[in-house]
Structure 1
Amino acid sequence: MSEITSVKFYSDTMNLKDLETLESRLQQMLRQEINSAADLENWLDEERKLREEIGEAMYGHQIDFYRDTANTVKRDIFTHDQTAVQPMLMKYGVEFDKKLLNSPYHEQLDDKKYGLMLKVRRTKVELFREENISLTVREQELVTQYNEIMGGLSIEWNGESKPYSFVQGQLDSPDRTVRERAWRALADARSRVKPQMDAMMDELVKLRHQMAVNAGFENFRDYMFTMKNREYSIQDCYDFHDSVEKHVVPAWDRLAGVIQAKLGVDMYRPWDTSSCSMQGAPFQTFTELMDGVDRMLGMTDTYFQERFRHMRDNGLLDLEVRPGKAPGGFCEGLPTSQNAFIFCNFSPSFFALIALIHEMGHAVNAYLQFEAGNGMEEHNLRAEAAELYSHAMELLLLDKLHIFYTDEQQFKIAQREELRRAFNMLIGPLSGDLFQHWLYTNPDHTPEERDAKFLEIHKRFPYHPVNIEGLEAEVSTLWTAVIHYFGYPFYNIEYSMSMLGALQLLEIYRDNPAKATALYKQGAGSDPNQSIAGIYRDTGVEFDFSEPCVEKTSKFVSSVIDELK
């Protein structure tokens, strides 16, 4: 059983079922008089605290549901938040934005402190359309449905019914027959729910396209670039795709050849692409996992270890595989409690170890922001910055993997696998970004066309060195198991951009571990109101995804991997 089953991990001081009282508090904020710049700052502070109070309750309800998607009580609470509370917040949110921007005193606000927030809120006002509220509610209903389906998806394994995530862990088995059986079982499980996934994605694409059209855009892709206030262009993304295909994919192919040779197989098949060159899972129980990660964090920085122990002691970790638990992993900031919660659903495997370290990077970032007094305001949560600290945490702990892999050769293999993951983060998420560009600029596509496009892009990038003869249909459905395509549209390329920054920090770490760790903490706690480039500079790296940077990074990763042969 989980260590945290009975622990209440979030603040739930507001009764969100009482919509009348909730609306009264929102109206009170809206009616408040503002007669000076000081009044406006006080109003902004009160508004932030109210949004955080409501937000934390909603975050907690969502986590409750993700932890047990079969629980109808938790589902009903979460559904109420999405269908009743969220529309009210959207309606009043835009009124708050207008109140701020219509105040003559907003021009007197310190641009360094409030400039980004004002920019984001202007965009929200410009893009808000009343008719999109109902579309957003339906969008969230479909995402909930996705999590229920994936959370309840089971596979017959060795005579027992196991969750989808458990069988995913078997892909790391050193026994090739086990890996192939797991890969085919996962494909079969996806095929059982494929009609539902197609119907959901068809509707999501239609809904999102309509949102964009309602807001005056030609397509959802263009709408999202504006909504996210991205500090780079659509063409910059296409150029990044091309640079990775030119410089990273060939190195990826060479690495695949090395792995194929070490595995001693005639063909490099899909079930050979996981972390299967190691002799089994690095832990058997989740207590072992937490004990080992605790030691790794402590060897890197005492602050990292202190935060992890605080989370473990206060019910802020849920790591075990359970039936009915939603897929994937995430870290959620809890702004009122000033805590972070880590959710993971991965069976014992190398990936489960790395996933926990990755999410701990997000948690440390959150705690440092809370301690700096920055909170977790929506306009600050730019994925290009957030993912820098999750990827960098993985790389700062690269040389501590011996805690789990005590054999010297296995330790080297584990480090190589983590660097292979870094390469994959330059390729896989980027291909997912390209897939979404196509999805939303071709909104009238059919399910068959969608599968074909995914297969085409996958063969160009992550599966470029993989022999998929006879498995094309199975590979073409892999997108159905990716939560980002359903719940977090256009949250993909940020992983690749931030990995470039994290690898720059690894270069610093290899020369001076203390300096790199200090830079990590400095950047993770720095002012989030500045540009992404400014946050990266505070971390000692550059926000750069140009072709020269991609080429240089590819050569660096290849050279480090070569050292570990």
Structure 2
Amino acid sequence: MSNLSTTYYAHAIELSNAEAFESRLKALLTEEIQSLSDLEAWIQREVEFKLQVGEVMSGQMIDFYRDTMSEEKKQIHMHDQTVIQPLLLKYGSELDKKLCQSPYAAQLDTKKYGLMLKVRSTDLELFREENIPLQVREQELVARYNEIIGGLTITWNGEEKPYPYVQAQIGDPDRATREKAWRATREALKSVRSELNDMMNELVHLRHQIAVNAGFKNYAEYSFRAHNREYTIADCQEFYAAVEKHVVPVWDRLADQFKAELNVDVYRPWDTSPCTLKGAPFEAVDDLVDGVERMLRATDPFFGDKFVHMRENGLLDLESRKGKAPGGFCDFLSYSKNTFVFANFSPSWFALIALIHEMGHAVNGYLQVRDEYEWTHMRAEVAELYSHGMELLCLDKLNEFYPNEHEFRNAQREEIHRALNMLMGPLSGDMFQHWMYANPDHTPEERDAAYRDITQRFAGHPVDSTGLEDEVGIGWLDSIHFFAYPFYNIEYSISELGALQLLETYRKDPRQAIEDFKRGASADSNQTIAELYAATGVSFDFSDQSVGRTAKFVEELIESLA
């Protein structure tokens, strides 16, 4: 695995020499600015420098995620996190001050620089030097989490298999097999439970202290401010109530359909996976890639072209292997104007959907490319609209992998099942995190109980977990978001609501929906979230009325696939 290609990103700057790197930051900081044109030229140089740094740090992080067993790659990544990142935090605050307090800042064109000024003003407001070592420790714990989960294996049918391989067997059409796989993954999590609990305890207290140092009551309030959220915690709470009121009943009716399809009287935790499909839709990664290329090209030629570009330039790593970090993501390599898709999923329906999802991010990234290097801020509520949207635009092309008509309808229904789950699962994950950070001194036992109880109100509502309370309660342990990306959850639910609106348009007029997708994905990110959603032909609205309307559309769609 040590020979995995590292040529997919631009090594435009050297980070191994911290002293030389710091001198570059000092030079930017001491540069004289005596006019508006001087300020704009300085911004351009600073942006290009930060894009170079960001690309190398992203690339070296991906290198480590691709091979967490490599001590060399781990050390390079940890150098970035423990040496370079503290310098970026320290000097970043001074650079933010230089920009925001410049007498020429008020003369900048707000259409071009407005969001930059807003975000950097917030960063300046929240910066506390005493938080730097806490943030460094936070990243050390995140790296350790990836090592633990990336190295997790399970003995399956007499062979040692990576955790994701056995996880994929939970989608097996044979009920005994998927129950065996579900229980095996929970036993694997129990084997690392103690260490992961200690890590989460430390992360919660670290993050709470970061928030208190910055003048906030708790980390939830700090996080909302840091993300420059265009909605409030109270808005999220109203969203929880609307989803519980309108979406959970639709979810329960869909569960009844699946129970009938599976011919089971009791819906157990291992019955909620896409097990109505007869086995994995592909065996080899090349088969997955070939089929997804055809799906994307059939949706829009631009989508297919970009996928081929990524495939030919080493910008995809999709195979599952021991030592590879868990999950999947798309990373923007802004300096070289490329995107990289990472995934660690064994052959399964989910692996197919995850790749399409990440390609939604990738296409969004390519559509954001401008002629000159510019500062960008990809807000998660917007970015996830295009990943979820891509999944649903490809809904009618799943017959590429499921040519049998009955299987095709089941695959479409499984994707709608996933869409509803992405409305509820991340939302309940958001509730769980609000509980965690509002009660930073909670015990691991209380944490598991809170997770179990919240899950039972949403995705677990129609599921009988009798006798499995402990196993259900530890379900949060293999979610990287809780460890590495705190409060990156509600965005999935908000954006899924928009994506379902896009699907509603697509079912009436496919060409219009694809044009809306491309127009919104290429729109200037300086606009508000509401404006970007409007450019995509959907509403940034998660009120009771909006959720109810979307739930009704989904219910009708489910009935059409019965």
**TM-score, with length taken from structure 2:** 0.99
> For 2:250 and 2:473, how far apart are their aligned partners in 1?
24
Give yes or no for the alignment of 1:125 onto 2:124: yes
Q: In the TM superposition, what are the counterparts of 1:94-243 in structure 2 within 5 Å?
A: 94-243=93-242
* Conserved 8 A contact 2:426-2:493: yes
* Conserved 8 A contact 2:173-2:279: yes
User: Deviation digits for residues 426-469 of structure 1, max 9, x if unmatched?
Assistant: 10000000000000000010111101101110111110100000
**Could you say if the C-alpha distance between residues 337 and 237 of structure 1 is closer, same or farther in structure 2, counting changes exceeding 3 Å?**
same
Q: Which residue of structure 2 aligns with residue 432 of structure 1? A: 429
Secondary structure in 1 aligned to 2:277? coil
> For 2:289 and 2:225, how far apart are their aligned partners in 1?
40
| Offset of residue 375 of structure 1 | 4.6
Counterpart residue identity of residue 498, structure 1: S
Secondary structure in 2 aligned to 1:91? helix
User: Deviation digits for residues 52-98 of structure 1, max 9, x if unmatched?
Assistant: 00110000000000000010000000000000000000001000000
| Offset of residue 263 of structure 1 | 0.5
| Offset of residue 254 of structure 1 | 1.1
* Conserved 8 A contact 1:335-1:376: no
> For 1:372 and 1:85, how far apart are their aligned partners in 2?
29
Q: Which residue of structure 2 aligns with residue 261 of structure 1? A: 260
User: Deviation digits for residues 247-269 of structure 1, max 9, x if unmatched?
Assistant: 10111111111111111112100
> For 2:26 and 2:4, how far apart are their aligned partners in 1?
37
User: Deviation digits for residues 14-63 of structure 1, max 9, x if unmatched?
Assistant: 22111111111111111111111111111111100000001100000000
Counterpart residue identity of residue 27, structure 2: Q
Q: In the TM superposition, what are the counterparts of 1:503-522 in structure 2 within 5 Å?
A: 503-522=500-519
**Could you say if the C-alpha distance between residues 223 and 472 of structure 1 is closer, same or farther in structure 2, counting changes exceeding 3 Å?**
same
Q: In the TM superposition, what are the counterparts of 1:207-356 in structure 2 within 5 Å?
A: 207-356=206-355
* Conserved 8 A contact 2:44-2:374: no
Q: Which residue of structure 1 aligns with residue 86 of structure 2? A: 87
> For 2:163 and 2:444, how far apart are their aligned partners in 1?
23
Q: Which residue of structure 1 aligns with residue 525 of structure 2? A: 528
1:544 pairs, out of 529, 541, 546, with 541
**Could you say if the C-alpha distance between residues 277 and 376 of structure 1 is closer, same or farther in structure 2, counting changes exceeding 3 Å?**
farther
**Could you say if the C-alpha distance between residues 230 and 392 of structure 1 is closer, same or farther in structure 2, counting changes exceeding 3 Å?**
same
User: Deviation digits for residues 146-172 of structure 1, max 9, x if unmatched?
Assistant: 000000000000111011111111011
2:449 pairs, out of 448, 452, 456, with 452
> For 1:375 and 1:33, how far apart are their aligned partners in 2?
21
Secondary structure in 2 aligned to 1:104? coil
Q: Which residue of structure 1 aligns with residue 64 of structure 2? A: 65
> For 1:375 and 1:503, how far apart are their aligned partners in 2?
31
* Conserved 8 A contact 2:44-2:373: no
* Conserved 8 A contact 1:53-1:336: yes
Q: Which residue of structure 1 aligns with residue 384 of structure 2? A: 387
> For 1:73 and 1:557, how far apart are their aligned partners in 2?
49
> For 1:372 and 1:272, how far apart are their aligned partners in 2?
49
* Conserved 8 A contact 2:173-2:276: yes
Secondary structure in 1 aligned to 2:129? coil
Counterpart residue identity of residue 262, structure 1: E
**Could you say if the C-alpha distance between residues 516 and 32 of structure 1 is closer, same or farther in structure 2, counting changes exceeding 3 Å?**
same
Give yes or no for the alignment of 1:443 onto 2:440: yes
* Conserved 8 A contact 2:47-2:375: no
* Conserved 8 A contact 1:365-1:389: yes
1:485 pairs, out of 482, 486, 489, with 482
Secondary structure in 1 aligned to 2:512? helix
User: Deviation digits for residues 358-389 of structure 1, max 9, x if unmatched?
Assistant: 00000000001014757563xx1210000000
* Conserved 8 A contact 2:154-2:161: yes
> For 1:34 and 1:374, how far apart are their aligned partners in 2?
20
> For 1:248 and 1:405, how far apart are their aligned partners in 2?
28
Secondary structure in 1 aligned to 2:330? strand
Q: Which residue of structure 2 aligns with residue 409 of structure 1? A: 406
Counterpart residue identity of residue 334, structure 2: P
User: Deviation digits for residues 247-299 of structure 1, max 9, x if unmatched?
Assistant: 10111111111111111112100000000001111000000000000000110
Secondary structure in 1 aligned to 2:242? helix
> For 1:432 and 1:363, how far apart are their aligned partners in 2?
25
* Conserved 8 A contact 1:454-1:479: yes
Q: Which residue of structure 2 aligns with residue 499 of structure 1? A: 496
Structure 1 unmatched ranges of 5 or more:
none
| Offset of residue 511 of structure 1 | 1.1
> For 1:371 and 1:100, how far apart are their aligned partners in 2?
23
> For 2:236 and 2:21, how far apart are their aligned partners in 1?
41
Identity %, equivalent residues: 59
> For 2:482 and 2:6, how far apart are their aligned partners in 1?
32
| Offset of residue 6 of structure 1 | 3.3
Secondary structure in 1 aligned to 2:341? strand
Q: Which residue of structure 2 aligns with residue 42 of structure 1? A: 41
> For 1:58 and 1:6, how far apart are their aligned partners in 2?
16
Secondary structure in 1 aligned to 2:537? coil
**Could you say if the C-alpha distance between residues 374 and 408 of structure 1 is closer, same or farther in structure 2, counting changes exceeding 3 Å?**
farther
| Offset of residue 7 of structure 1 | 5.6
Give the root-mean-square deviation of aligned CA atoms: 1.2
User: Deviation digits for residues 99-130 of structure 1, max 9, x if unmatched?
Assistant: 01111000000111111111111111111000
Q: Which residue of structure 1 aligns with residue 465 of structure 2? A: 468
* Over 2 Å off, 4+ runs: 4-7, 371-377
Secondary structure in 1 aligned to 2:237? helix
| Offset of residue 237 of structure 1 | 0.4
| Offset of residue 512 of structure 1 | 1.0
Secondary structure in 1 aligned to 2:367? helix
Aligned length in residues = 562
> For 2:52 and 2:261, how far apart are their aligned partners in 1?
54
> For 1:342 and 1:452, how far apart are their aligned partners in 2?
35
* Conserved 8 A contact 1:82-1:140: yes
Structure 2 unmatched ranges of 5 or more:
none
* Conserved 8 A contact 1:297-1:397: yes
**TM-score, with length taken from structure 1:** 0.98
* Conserved 8 A contact 1:7-1:314: no
* Conserved 8 A contact 1:374-1:527: no
> For 1:451 and 1:516, how far apart are their aligned partners in 2?
41
* Conserved 8 A contact 1:369-1:375: no
> For 1:350 and 1:499, how far apart are their aligned partners in 2?
19
> For 1:439 and 1:530, how far apart are their aligned partners in 2?
33
> For 1:396 and 1:42, how far apart are their aligned partners in 2?
41
* Conserved 8 A contact 1:366-1:376: no
* Conserved 8 A contact 1:154-1:162: yes
* Conserved 8 A contact 1:298-1:305: yes
> For 1:142 and 1:387, how far apart are their aligned partners in 2?
26
